[in-house]
Amino acid sequence: MSQKKYQVFVSSTFRDLMDERQDAIRNILDLKHIPAGMELFPAADINQLDYIKKVIDECDYYLLIMGGRYGSIDSEGISYTEREYDYAVETGKVVIAFVHSDPSQIPVGKSDIDQNILNALDTFRTKVMSGRLVKTWSNRQELEPLVLKSLIHAFNDLPQVGWIRGDSAASDSVLEQSNKALQENVELREEIAKLRKAQNPPLDDIADFDDSFEFRYESRYYNGRGNSVYTPRTASLSWRQIFLGVAGQLDQARPDSFILYGLQQAMKEAGADYEPAKINETDKIRIKVQLVALGLISTKVSKTVAGGVSEFLSLTQRGRSTFIEGMVVKK
């Protein structure tokens, strides 16, 4: 048997799902098959739906991505996306559909707001969800591996006519091994994504840059006998002030003790009366966790020069950009 090239029609509303469409097209190309979609074809003097039907006829699979928009509608009030879907089902194409799990969570700029259009979208969603190869998705990062895995399953379990080069010849065993390796790769990527998500749980209502944080510290002075005297105090700074002070210390990876030096600088800039000599350990941890949660610093456990191990703080790319933005002199 010769190796087949399958042609897959990618259907969706266009502007709101442009990135998701490109991801799907790239997945098809990575699998060494042929993507087809209206953005890939030149304008022609032919009725739009008739032209779409001709392209679908030449395809082996029909892939649908649904978000929060119903799409451009024809004179009868039916969207071209739904017309494409109906024709693919009518002609017996293998339909692989990905429906957004909760359209109400999609930003307004990428969703319809007219109630009649929303009703039509909901009816279309119900129709599609009754199909066989249907998956739900909530974001672009989740959708991409779903598309790749579903395509591999469809190619393996529901093989179609496809296209064959006249001079190509690949054994079924080689093709089977290649598809199996691709499927295992996708499954591993999904497991890694799950582990990362478990390690970084979503945080709601996190304080932003302009919110204040009250922390506990001790100031120090020397009495007449040369002894240090510590006085408990509290101070309040915005997270912006705290970050800019700490970031100024992270020209290279530093231990979290440098948070104190960052606070000293931040309080000096804020005109505080007392400089912290010590910081409450719990509040130091809160500052570190907050800056990590904001994506501004990262932590890594590494060996020290003394041979032990310690946790070191570094600026992330976002943190470096934010620091430059906060410190640069503007007009």
Cβ-based neighbours of 69, under 8 Å, separated by 6 or more: 13, 16, 110, 111, 112, 121
CA distance 83 to 126: 15
Quick check: 268 and 275 in contact, CB under 8 A?
yes
Tell me what pLDDT residue 146 has.
92
Domain limits, the chain: 4-199, 212-327
How many CB atoms within 10 Å of residue 229? 11
Q: Kindly report the CA angle at 233 between 229 and 234, in degrees rounded to 5?
A: 160
User: Hey, which bits of 195-308 come out as E strands?
Assistant: 212-222, 228-238, 254-255, 278-279, 297-303
44-47: list long-range contacts, CB under 8 Å, 24+ apart. none
Cα–Cα dist 270/262, whole Å: 12
Tokens linked to 198: 């478990």
Structure tokens belonging to residue 275: 């400089």
Predicted pLDDT of residue 2: 47
Per residue of the chain (331 residues), what is the pLDDT tens digit? 347 899 999 998 887 888 898 999 999 999 999 998 776 554 444 567 788 888 999 999 999 999 888 888 888 888 888 999 999 999 999 999 999 988 777 775 676 777 888 888 889 989 998 876 789 998 889 999 999 999 999 999 899 988 876 655 555 666 667 677 777 777 777 776 666 555 555 566 788 888 999 999 999 887 767 678 889 999 999 999 999 999 999 988 888 889 999 999 999 999 998 889 999 999 999 999 999 988 899 988 877 666 667 788 999 998 999 999 889 888 7
Cα–Cα distance for residue pair 5/55, rounded to 1 Å: 16
Res 170: pLDDT: 52
Q: What are phi and psi of 100, to 5 degrees?
A: -60, 135
Direct distance between the N- and C-terminal alpha carbons of the chain, in angstroms, rounded to an integer: 69
Burial (0-12, 13-18, 19+ Cβ within 10 Å), 29: exposed
Taking alpha carbons only, the member of 294, 299, 286 closest to residue 255 is: 299
Which CATH architecture group holds 212-327? Orthogonal Bundle (1.10)
What pLDDT is stored for residue 130 in this prediction?
Answer: 83
Q: Give dist(CA 316, CA 319) in Å, integer.
A: 5
Burial 52-63 (b: 16+ CB within 10 A, else e): bbebbeebbbbb
Give me the CATH code for the 4-199 domain, please. Answer: 3.40.50.10140
Q: How far apart are CA 252 and CA 328, in angstroms?
A: 19
pTM: 0.50
Is the fold of 4-199 the same as that of 212-327? no
